Structure 1
Amino acid sequence: MTWNGFQRRFQMVRDNKLFEMFVITVIIFSSLMIGIRTYQLDPLYESILLTLDYAVTLFFLIEIMIRMAAEDRLLNFFKKGWNVFDFVIVVVSLIPMDSTEYALIARMLRLFRVMRLISFIPELRVLVTALITALPRMGYVALLMFIIFYLYAVIGNLLFSQINPNLWGDLGISLLTLFRVATFEDWTDVMYETMAVYSLSWMYYISFIFFSAFVFLNMMIGIVVDVLAEEHKKMEAEKMGLTLEEHESFEKRVQDEMQSLHTKLDQLMAMQSDKK
């Protein structure tokens, strides 16, 4: 059989849904083995788990080689970020766990095997891609949030440092206190303590919570939802074999046609009503 024949078979295996489900099952099983090893086990069970780990590592190595061989060109495999992600995880998991020098590192690196679920489940890929894409926009919101935190921390230090130095003694401690207030961790105790001296200090806390918990949090959520919608459109476009622009143009044409049909239907109904 020629190489092209082998390649077609590798492609059939790679695209087989049962094969994908089996790989996902092995990934979950591998992650469970790492969790089991956190308990004190009998040496017999330890040796069994070590043997199973070698078997899983060998399976992942064969699986990644099948996916690489299924590509028309090997370089095409590394053009996709998720393929590179899987390749790196498989390579680093080749570090033997029975080596006393690298046992801890090998066990920690094997934890990242569960991350391979992301590359096999499209919905998880969309979520992670949306999160990474949203990070630059979220960075500006985080910068604005830091400015507000900084201003309120300095004001808190000036007003309340004499009341409780443990909470407002300097800028760093004041920032930690504000983080406590923003996460609603017993923030009323902090407020009532300062209200005993400054009766209107509740305005300080309420305004800060308004900015941190309502404004900035909703801005973060809005950015993530917006990017997530864009990523879903890209995924649908890929399934249809279109670019994002072509998919948006297709959706617009469908919406225009539906609107035109509704208009014609309304006109026909109006004509029938006039005849009656």
Structure 2
Amino acid sequence: MKASVLQAKFEQIRSNKVFELFVITVIILSALLVGAKTYNQPLINEITRYMDWFISLFFLTEITIRFMAEENKRRFFHSFWNWFDTLIVLVSLVPAENADMAVIARLVRVFRVLRMISFIPELRLLLVSLVKALPQLGYVMLLLFIIFYIYAAIGSTLFAEVNATLWGNISISLLTLFRVMTFEDWTDVMYETMAVYPLSWIFYLTFIFLSAFAFLNMVIGIVVNVMEQESAKVKAAQDLANHEPTMKDLMHEIHALRKDIDNLKKQ
């Protein structure tokens, strides 16, 4: 009885909106703390050292509250995000002052910012959608690489004599094409080759159309489509969880059962 009452209190704390906002605030503070440490000032280092321990202990307390609020403790670790949060919290308890573990400890504290993803459902939805879109994106990336490779081979063959630094071999040509795709001073590259090959603008414009416009829109379309599917699944799960059968629903089911029984009797 006492255990159930204690579990209910922890559940009340976990579901409290003020508590959730405070956790998000501490996560943001943790991110700011990582940036403050880069200034390497004695006063800032002293303040951040105490703040870092406060944040670590708070996260440990918060993950304990979430664990104790779970009615079935085994189900707590059925969630990937609970595993993720627990791992980040436990590893962040490694003392940063330890010379051997200092670099690892600081890196882990940087990753504490990722707890924002696990704590905010909308961010989780974005990440899950992106991960689930990866198989479809893989085929788009493969086709994009083929386009890159073809254009790099053409560029290396035609423009190597114009500028060997940009078109000397196929690997350098791939980097140059990436620069063109991202519109980083690509006109300078184009005008340089146009001085020798006046029609080389066709090479650049067709490549930009295929890579930057067509394939980029395909990537966006795939991610948006997967995100819409995941949003629909989450909404359906929430509607199912919130649905409680009313007396009207029960009467409708009883009426349907009676109808089925009458049909069986007639047979």
| TM-score, length basis structure 1 | 0.84
Partner residue, 1:21: 21
**Partners of 1:207 and 1:47 in 2: CA distance:** 57
Partner residue, 1:148: 147
Letter of the 2:41 partner, please give it: L
Partner residue, 1:232: 231
**Cα deviation, residue 185, structure 1:** 1.2
**Partners of 1:180 and 1:25 in 2: CA distance:** 39
Partner residue, 1:93: 92
Partner residue, 1:252: none
Deviation string 1:96-140 (CA, Å, 9 cap, x unpaired) is 112122112111110111111111111111111111111111111
Structure 1 gap segments, 5+ residues each: 244-276
- CA RMSD in angstroms, aligned pairs only: 1.5
The 5-angstrom pairing of residues 3-152 of structure 1 reads 3-42=3-42, 44-152=43-151
SS of the counterpart of 2:98?
coil
Do 2:37 and 2:44's aligned partners in 1 also have CA atoms closer than 8 Å? no
**Partners of 2:105 and 2:209 in 1: CA distance:** 46
Deviation string 1:145-183 (CA, Å, 9 cap, x unpaired) is 000000110111111111111111101011011111111
Do 2:36 and 2:44's aligned partners in 1 also have CA atoms closer than 8 Å? no
**Partners of 2:175 and 2:119 in 1: CA distance:** 40
Deviation string 1:181-229 (CA, Å, 9 cap, x unpaired) is 1111111111112112222111111111110011100100100110111
Residue identity (%): 56
CA distance 1:216–1:8, change in 2 (3 Å): same
Letter of the 1:122 partner, please give it: P
Which moved further from structure 2: 230-239 or 161-170? 230-239
**Partners of 1:206 and 1:31 in 2: CA distance:** 42
**Partners of 1:178 and 1:29 in 2: CA distance:** 41
**Cα deviation, residue 242, structure 1:** 5.5
Which moved further from structure 2: 191-200 or 169-178? 191-200
Partner residue, 2:245: none
Aligned length: 242
Structure 2 gap segments, 5+ residues each: 243-267
